[in-house]
Amino acid sequence: MLPVYDRERTVCDCFKYRTKLDNETFNKALNAYVADGQKNLANLSVYAKKMKLYTKVMNVMEVLLSG
């Protein structure tokens, strides 16, 4: 069994397990999320706060979304 979550939780999991992911996979996941028309940044923020990843997630998302 493999638990499946929404895209925002998956992005937070990518940050949480960043050292276990190769850089290419991490970058592809983030770029796919940024390009996704159904992304929910408010939900991403909630997950990031609960997982204590808020600063890391928001710093990277700010760069990706502005550029």
pTM: predicted TM-score of the whole model, two decimal places? 0.88
CB-CB contact of 30 with 10 (8 Å): no
| Composition of the chain by helix, strand, coil, percent to 5 | 75, 0, 25
pLDDT tens over the chain, length 67 residues: 767 789 999 999 999 999 999 999 999 999 999 999 999 999 999 999 999 999 999 999 999 999 7
Asked if 10 and 36 touch (Cβ cutoff 8 Å), the reply is no
Q: Phi-psi category of 2—alpha, beta or left, where left has phi over 0 and alpha has psi -120 to 50?
A: beta
> Could you write out the DSSP letters of every residue in 34-49?
HH-TT--HHHHHHHHH
